[in-house]
A and B are shown apart, each in its own frame.
Chain A
Amino acid sequence: MAKFIDWLRDIDRRYIYGLVFLSLLLPLVRPFGLPVSVSKLTKAAYDEINRLNQGDIVLYAMDITAASVADDMPSNLAYMQHLMDKGVRVIIVTFRADGMKYTLDILAKWEALGKKYGQDLAHLGFVAGAESGIAAFFSDFRKTAPTDVRGKQTSELPIMKDVNSLKDVKILVASTAGYTPEYVRQGFTAYGKTLIVCASGNHFGTLPPYIQAGQIKGAIGGARGAAEYEVLLKKPGAGAKLMDSQAIGLMSLLLVMLLGNVVYLYDRRRSQGGN
């Protein structure tokens, strides 16, 4: 036992990196399709979007950060898939500078699939100023973003007819790259607007107080939430592809943590004079 503990203690950390790398990579190369169960929150988000009618307009605050794109993109794609399938019209805006490219990728995808820019969806670009920018935009879309990402006058876009503030859209969908409290304060609290969220996994843990208070009606968290949403849509996509790899990778991390704690407890006991 002592020899094994000594070997564990002295193991080169690069072997641990290798183990984690392999456990993440192998399921990507050869997926085996672990089952994905759907949480209540994901179902709640699905039901809210499912209640929308064809032609309804939603505001989609699509904040994707370059660092967490692998986690954020699948959930945004899942929401967009549902909205587009329902024939809902979407106004996109982003309050994160570094995620602009990814929002344009999503826009391009749906345009390639036949959705008409300006009619079915529009992108009003990046609005700076964090919470001040969010508040200004929610109160007046046209003044805060006078032109869209293509340089067209926002007021001239067909989708913007009769729409100029958060009051005029059906619901607010927000991909919150850390901006959840801002959307709750400026969207739900200021306008009483139904708020549906998708958040990166590391921010998802901060949502429960808002969900429990009814301020956020439904939410999906990172790639895992996206995989759940894809189950509801019956269209496996970017999220489902990651699940095997994530599950096996995390199991390897748990194993490493467990072994680390065994070494720690063994050493502590030995230093206290135990056997």
Chain B
Amino acid sequence: MSTDIGVWIGAIGSLCMLSLLYGDNPFFKVAEHTFVGLGAGYHALLGFTNIQRMAWSPLVRGQGIVFAVPLLLGLLVYARYIPKQKNLVRIPTSMVIAVGAALGIRGAIHGEFTQQIAATMALKLNSLNNLIIVAGFLSVLAYFYFTKVSHPSLAGAQSLISKVGRGVMMISFGALFANSMTTFAVRLIGVFQFLFGQWIHLIT
């Protein structure tokens, strides 16, 4: 067995968490609250060191007054606690949203729209794989085409293609779920490796 106190704390915490599978109990509650508290503390510390490293230190070293801007904007977030000045919180909030949206749109239109469509249009229908991609793409698009075609024979075809599209999406969701299952299995294996490897040395 391990003689490291850190490993013991981790192992007991892991067992407390896993105890939820048996049923809700006080050990799980203690571990849950400890975990949330530790997570909050860790992120607060990391945030503090990050501000120190990326804004405060360069500012006091005289690398430019521009480093005061993020500090000022950060302080304005707390303006919500001053009733008469609480509107000031809109400045940093709107900046974060505006910058995020601008950056997202810049890359999204080209990276996730035109490049993707161009790549699908450029596919040669010379392999089963490519045929599935193109047919899947068109049928899923048809599923989200909500206007009904007026001609009865075409309406039938539209309905059929849209059903194929729904099937394609179901297969995709199934594949995503399967991927998630493999990840959760590996995460559990990771816990077992820690408990039976690092803690009680059953696994070499």
Chain A residues packing against B (C-beta within 8 Å): 14, 17, 20-21, 24-25, 28-29, 67-71, 97-98, 100, 125-128, 130-132, 135, 144-147, 151, 181, 184-186, 188-190, 200-206, 209-210, 212-215, 221-224, 241-242, 245-246, 249-250, 253
Contact partner of A29 among B50, B100, B196, CB < 8 A? B196
Say whether B196 contacts A25, CB under 8 Å: yes
B-side interface mostly: helix
Residues of A within 8 A of B43 (CB): 97-98
**How far apart are A52's CB and chain B's nearest CB, in angstroms?**
24
Contact partner of A71 among B106, B133, B190, CB < 8 A? B190
Say whether A253 contacts B181, CB under 8 Å: yes
Residue of A nearest to B182 (CB): A201
Say whether B196 contacts A215, CB under 8 Å: no
Q: Bound state CA distance, A47 and B119, in angstroms? A: 22
Contact partner of B103 among A25, A132, A184, CB < 8 A? A132
Residues of B within 8 A of A210 (CB): 116
**B83 contacts chain A at the CB level, 8 A cutoff:** no
Chain B contact-residue range equals 35 or more
**B189 contacts chain A at the CB level, 8 A cutoff:** yes
Residues of A within 8 A of B96 (CB): 132
Residues of A within 8 A of B147 (CB): none
Say whether B175 contacts A205, CB under 8 Å: yes
Say whether A70 contacts B133, CB under 8 Å: no
| Also in contact, A97 and B46, with CB within 8 A (given A69-B190, A185-B104, A206-B176) | yes
14 A-B pairs (CB sep. < 8 Å) = A70-B187, A70-B189, A70-B190, A71-B183, A98-B39, A128-B50, A185-B103, A186-B107, A190-B107, A205-B172, A215-B111, A246-B182, A250-B182, A253-B185
Chain B residues packing against A (C-beta within 8 Å): 21-22, 39, 42-43, 46-47, 50, 53-54, 57-58, 63, 96, 99-100, 103-104, 106-108, 110-112, 115-116, 118-120, 133, 172, 175-176, 178-193, 196, 202-203
**How far apart are B117's CB and chain A's nearest CB, in angstroms?**
9
**How far apart are A9's CB and chain B's nearest CB, in angstroms?**
20
Residues of B within 8 A of A221 (CB): 179
Say whether B53 contacts A146, CB under 8 Å: yes
| Also in contact, A200 and B183, with CB within 8 A (given A17-B21, A146-B58, A213-B116) | yes
Say whether B100 contacts A125, CB under 8 Å: no
Residue of B nearest to A147 (CB): B53
Residues of A within 8 A of B50 (CB): 125-126, 128
**How far apart are A183's CB and chain B's nearest CB, in angstroms?**
10
Residues of B within 8 A of A24 (CB): 185, 188-189, 192
**How far apart are A223's CB and chain B's nearest CB, in angstroms?**
5
Residues of B within 8 A of A21 (CB): 188, 192
Beyond A213-B115, A245-B192, A250-B182, 10 extra complex contacts between A and B, CB < 8 Å: A17-B21, A24-B185, A68-B183, A98-B42, A125-B53, A144-B54, A181-B111, A202-B184, A205-B172, A213-B120
